[in-house]
């Protein structure tokens, strides 16, 4: 088999079932890359730190953990909630949905599946993006301030599973784009569908993703049968 065939997003469609689904947000449902770059350039100037240095390690990491590397005085929730709450207000036009993201949220909500969102962003940030982009609001939402440690620590996903009543189940599908999030999902004992939206295929594979797809157009929610949500994964990497 040629290298190009090995690297193609062309795996046959397969239907799998899970007790529930937990999704990351930034890079998975929403692409706010341009907004986040502008945000960290602004904060970098205030901190006197090269923003490119901050951006090199900030994706998938809580802002409070990133700030702690440069200024412990700003690594507090009051400050983090304030600056993240400003992002959708100041840079709302710089964000867009990941292809398929809007449809997946709507399908999860209408299907009756057990699902939730687990993000490294604050409640202020996620609420802002949901409002600006007019996306389905998740009833179950785990945000940065809900856990003592961010991804790759698995506690965020374990808390998400508890919220949807699946704390004793390992039949959970995690949707992620960042290696730290993939590692968190795997450490929690779950299957992970990775999106090649923000990181290289090598990094996604190394993190332990079970499937890699280009975006959420490759995931379809069919129905809930006997409490299990049936999903179809198509055009995965092979």
Catalytic residues: 24, 26
CA dihedral (136, 140, 143, 148) in degrees, to 10, reads -170
Angle formed by the axes of helices 77-91 and 123-133, nearest 10°: 20
| Residue 171: closest CA among 117, 230, 119, 118 | 230
Query: How big is the chain, counted in residues?
Result: 238
Range 67-106 burial, b when 16+ CB lie within 10 A, else e? beeeeeebbeeeebbebbbebbeebeebbebbebbbbbbe
């Amino acid at each position: 088999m040629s290298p190009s065939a090995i690297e193609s997003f062309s795996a046959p469609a397969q239907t799998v079932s899970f007790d529930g689904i937990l999704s990351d947000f930034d890079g998975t449902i929403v692409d706010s890359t341009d907004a986040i770059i502008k945000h960290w350039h602004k904060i970098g100037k205030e901190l006197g730190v090269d923003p490119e240095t901050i951006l090199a390690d900030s994706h998938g990491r809580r802002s409070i953990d990133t700030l702690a590397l440069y200024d412990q005085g700003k690594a507090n929730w009051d400050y983090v909630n304030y600056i993240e709450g400003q992002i959708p207000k100041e840079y709302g036009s710089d964000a867009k949905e990941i292809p398929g993201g809007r449809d997946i949220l709507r399908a999860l909500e209408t299907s009756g599946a057990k699902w939730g969102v687990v993000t490294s962003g604050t409640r202020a940030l996620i609420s802002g993006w949901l409002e600006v982009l007019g996306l389905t609001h998740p009833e179950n939402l785990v945000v940065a301030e809900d856990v003592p440690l961010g991804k790759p620590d698995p506690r965020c996903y374990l808390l998400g599973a508890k919220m949807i009543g699946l704390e004793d189940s390992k039949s959970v599908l995690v949707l992620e784009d960042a290696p730290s999030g993939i590692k968190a999902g795997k450490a929690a004992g779950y299957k992970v569908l990775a999106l090649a939206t923000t990181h290289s295929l090598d990094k996604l594979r190394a993190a332990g993703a079970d499937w890699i797809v280009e975006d959420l157009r490759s995931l379809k929610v069919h129905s809930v049968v006997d409490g299990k949500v049936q999903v179809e994964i198509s055009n995965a990497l092979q």
